Amino acid sequence: MTTPRLRTQVATHLSLVLITIAVLYPVLWVLKMALSPGQAFSLDLNPIPSTVTLEHFEAVLTTATMDGDWLFGRQLMNSLIVALATSAVGIALATSAGYAMSRWGFPGRDAGMRIFLITQMFPGVVMAIPLYILLDELGMLDSLMGLSVVYATTAIPFCTWNMKGYFDTIPVELEEAARMDGADRWTTFWYIVLPLARPALVVTGLFSFMTAWNEFILAATFMNDETSFTLPVVLQSYVGDYGTEWGHFAAGAVIVSAPVMILFFALQRHLVEGLTSGSVKG
């Protein structure tokens, strides 16, 4: 493929830059509110702050409990634990299910795939209270583990589909060769298939991570104490009954989004390769 004329190149870059600006404009606004003094929502057109202050970040980062413990640190830990546990559970369950669905035509597979897809259609509004009762019966209320399991389950259908799609693209011949050499199913899966599926594992992990990292309604309902809240719940608590502390809210939003952005940045190559959600066969 040849390089097009300069005019086309410039036009392409120009339109990409314009689109990028349109994409970044709202993001810059969040930054502006986070860096400007006061709690007002900025309706200005200029997304560059006129005075820069770190007061909101300081206020959000240094919250303390009644006993003087560093509350934000606790909540950050909670968020990390929940998000990482969700990723771990999500990857483990989705990978094994996705692999089985990709490789073996067992009875009920197609129905299972369908049901997984269908569960994506359950509207969340009706589920909070039944879930609360269920977790209570299981003794998993107000525990980070309970929360992680719930999150992982909501992420499983997408992750399973995605993993299955990726496994479909890995030639079976490799496994057959290993099986000939006497490796059992588990060994083949663990040593041959999984390393090849790394991009899809990254996507599955990232997706589960984000599900847990951004959710606040279930977290606020299931967790009892401020010290067991996750960051999105804290973020939400800046939105009040009547007024919102926009400065704190925006600073919190930046803090919550930053790790995901970094992950995206670090994993972008895998992201492109691993997001198949049911991809090309053969």
What DSSP element (H or E) covers 62?
none
Give 140's contacts (C-beta < 8 A, 6+ positions apart): 146, 149
Out of 7, 51, 66, 195, point to the residue binding another protein (CB under 8 A): 66
Give 239's contacts (C-beta < 8 A, 6+ positions apart): 249
Question: Any alpha helices (H) in 170-243, and if so which ranges?
Answer: 172-180, 185-187, 194-196, 198-214, 217-222, 231-236
Residue pair 158/208 in contact by the 8 Å Cβ criterion? no
113-142 residues near another protein, rule: CB under 8 A: 114-134, 136, 139-142
Out of 12, 50, 62, 187, point to the residue binding another protein (CB under 8 A): 12
Nearer to another protein, 195 or 242 (CB): 242
Out of 14, 18, 77, 92, point to the residue binding another protein (CB under 8 A): 92
Range in contact with another protein (rule: CB under 8 A) among 39-47, 49-57, 173-181, 190-198: 39-47
Report the SS3 class of residue 267: helix
Out of 10, 14, 18, 20, point to the residue binding another protein (CB under 8 A): 20
Residue 11 binds another protein (CB under 8 A): no
Nearer to another protein, 109 or 179 (CB): 109
Residue 236 binds another protein (CB under 8 A): yes
What DSSP element (H or E) covers 83?
helix 71-103
Nearer to another protein, 5 or 181 (CB): 5
Q: How far apart are CA 180 and CA 177, in angstroms?
A: 5
Q: What is residue 188's DSSP assignment?
A: I
Out of 35, 60, 91, 94, point to the residue binding another protein (CB under 8 A): 94
Range in contact with another protein (rule: CB under 8 A) among 26-34, 48-56, 171-179, 190-198: 26-34
Window 67-86: contact mask with another protein (x via CB under 8 A): --------------------
Residue 145 binds another protein (CB under 8 A): yes
190-219 residues near another protein, rule: CB under 8 A: 210, 214, 216-217
Nearer to another protein, 104 or 181 (CB): 104
Report the SS3 class of residue 4: coil
149-168 residues near another protein, rule: CB under 8 A: 149-150, 152-154, 156-158, 160-161, 165
Give 263's contacts (C-beta < 8 A, 6+ positions apart): 206, 209
Q: How far apart are CA 62 and CA 73, in angstroms?
A: 8
Residue 38 binds another protein (CB under 8 A): yes
Nearer to another protein, 53 or 153 (CB): 153
Residue 112 binds another protein (CB under 8 A): yes
Q: List the Cα angle 159/177/278 in 5-degree steps.
A: 20
Range in contact with another protein (rule: CB under 8 A) among 49-57, 173-181, 190-198, 256-264: 256-264
Question: Any alpha helices (H) in 36-70, and if so which ranges?
Answer: 55-61
Residue pair 166/199 in contact by the 8 Å Cβ criterion? yes
Identify the residue whose tokens are 């200029």.
46
